């Protein structure tokens, strides 16, 4: 019989020592370990117990090597209750909004899969260090993996943030899944341009009860950033390295997820992160001109009649003609090198231009700028009306076009060429 994933010798060890999942204990093996007893996968051995250490890491301890067990206390979390931290008038207020994702997930210890389970309140209570930095309020907007988020979700997040623009919060954290976080960050950057507070999207590559979770440090660092920074706007806060020494705060329009699983998967394209949070130190990498306060002019609409086309040899131009027939307003090309597509595309591009569809060019290269004046093929595309978009990230260009088409469809090209939220680097 299994209990929280423990069975056999491991379950008997817990019962003999009167230990329950959620209790905080100190054990001695070759070293001393103190931490919270965690559940285990149902389909694992019965030779180990798992502790979550104070630094957020999980450690598996072989029960045959445990020479001493000392009971410390029972956590409130194991009883399904959380003690709300007292309000400290000396601290600033920060709001934590949860939308779901790995940072708001736990392991299903029956199957070993990650499932959405944590509320914003759980996130706050599971990282008690937060209450020492700021007064944290928490609210759940929705609970979805980020691959399930749609532009309609972006609008809901933006509308919620807009309603808080004049609140007494120093800043707002949005807990968000990592897979599409850069899209949401881009939309918020454009739709809430000039927002008078720092908004930090925070994710986790590994859920809070997995070994080497990055959830706690990312959250703590995001709150520290909000409390200490003098910059407003939309940021993404994630590990800066594989170790637990730094968290990077990236501009919302210049960040990209460049690795599937590393804790430092997010990187600023074309430069350094805007800020680095290292313990209690906040390092600024960008000049103050990036953060000059603009007039706050929210424009919270989005159009899905925009396509991101990744060109490849053999791409069927009839797909472009289908977009024309379906009433698309803009097409962002992710071209090769300096911004090229093959000649087989020219006729379809000409038809799209005749229908007054905006055509923008970005590059498949991770870094560098589009320059369509270097080669003949690029100049041909310029002549056909394709607009080079400098070093704008393709996903950012897509989201910007979705925003522009919904809010100002009569002047798409001029706005796409205008630097609104640092989407172009200086």
HEC string for 140-196: ECCCCCHHHCCHHHHHHHHHHHHHCCCCCCCEEEEECCCCCHHHHHHHHHHHCCCCC
3-class DSSP string for 300-335? CCCCCCEEEEECCCCCCCHHHHHHHHCCCCEEEEEE
Q: Return all residues near 398 (Cβ < 8 A) that are at least 6 apart.
A: 183, 306, 307, 308, 332
Q: Is 194 left (phi over 0), alpha (psi -120 to 50) or beta?
A: left
32 sits in which H/E element: strand 32-38
Q: What is the spatial distance between Cα 293 and Cα 307, in angstroms, rounded to a whole number?
A: 32
CB 339 within 8 Å of CB 372? yes
71 within 8 A of 18, measured Cβ to Cβ: yes
Q: Is 257:239 a contact under the CB 8 Å cutoff?
A: no
Return the closest-CA partner of residue 27 out of 58, 75, 64, 71: 71
Burial code of 118-130, b = ≥16 C-beta within 10 A, e = fewer? bbbbbbbbbbeeb
Active-site residue, 102 included:
yes
Catalytic residue among 102, 180, 253, 396: 102
Task: Please count the other Cβ atoms lying within 10 Å of the Cβ belonging to residue 199.
Answer: 26
Please say if 280 is a catalytic residue: no
The residues near 292 (Cβ < 8 Å, ≥ 6 apart) are none
257 classed as catalytic: yes
From the list 52, 170, 257, 400, the catalytic residue is: 257
303, with CB counted inside 10 A (0-12, 13-18, 19+), is middle
Q: Which of 108, 137, 162, 179 is catalytic?
A: 179
Catalytic positions, please? 102, 178-179, 257
């Amino acid at each position: 019989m299994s209990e929280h994933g423990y069975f056999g010798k491991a379950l008997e060890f817990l019962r003999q020592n009167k230990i329950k999942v959620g209790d905080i204990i100190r054990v001695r093996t070759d070293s001393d370990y103190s931490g919270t007893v965690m559940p285990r996968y149902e389909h694992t051995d019965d030779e180990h117990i798992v502790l979550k250490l104070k630094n957020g890491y999980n450690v598996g301890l072989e029960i045959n090597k445990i020479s001493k067990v000392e009971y410390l206390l029972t956590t409130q979390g194991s009883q399904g209750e959380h003690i709300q931290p007292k309000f400290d008038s000396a601290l600033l207020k920060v709001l934590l909004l949860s939308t779901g994702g790995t940072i708001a997930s736990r392991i299903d210890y029956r199957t070993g899969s990650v499932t959405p389970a944590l509320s914003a309140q759980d996130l706050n209570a599971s990282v008690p260090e937060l209450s020492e930095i700021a007064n944290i309020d928490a609210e759940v907007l929705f609970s979805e993996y980020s691959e399930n988020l749609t532009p309609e979700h972006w609008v809901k997040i933006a509308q919620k943030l807009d309603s808080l623009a004049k609140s007494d919060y120093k800043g707002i954290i949005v807990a968000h899944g990592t897979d599409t976080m850069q899209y949401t960050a881009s939309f918020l950057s454009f739709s809430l341009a000039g927002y008078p507070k720092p908004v930090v999207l925070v994710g986790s590559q590994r859920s809070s009860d997995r070994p080497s979770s990055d959830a706690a440090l990312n959250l703590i660092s995001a709150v520290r950033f909000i409390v200490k920074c003098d910059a407003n706007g939309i940021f993404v806060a994630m590990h800066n390295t594989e170790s637990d020494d730094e968290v990077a705060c990236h501009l919302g329009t210049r960040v990209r997820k460049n690795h599937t699983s590393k804790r430092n998967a997010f990187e600023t394209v074309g430069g350094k992160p805007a800020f680095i949070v290292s313990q209690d130190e906040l390092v600024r990498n960008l000049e103050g001109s990036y953060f000059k306060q603009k007039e706050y002019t929210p424009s919270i609409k989005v159009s899905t009649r925009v396509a991101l086309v990744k060109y490849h040899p053999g791409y069927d131009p009839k797909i472009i003609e289908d977009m024309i027939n379906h009433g698309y307003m803009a097409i962002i090309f992710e071209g090769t090198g300096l911004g090229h597509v093959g000649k087989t595309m020219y006729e379809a591009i000409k038809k799209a231009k005749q229908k007054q569809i905006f055509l923008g060019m970005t590059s498949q290269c991770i870094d560098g700028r589009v320059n369509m004046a270097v080669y003949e093929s690029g100049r041909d595309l310029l002549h056909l009306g394709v607009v080079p978009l400098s070093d704008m990230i393709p996903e950012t260009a897509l989201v910007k076009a979705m925003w522009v088409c919904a809010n100002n469809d009569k002047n798409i090209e001029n706005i796409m060429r205008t630097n609104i939220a640092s989407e172009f680097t200086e």
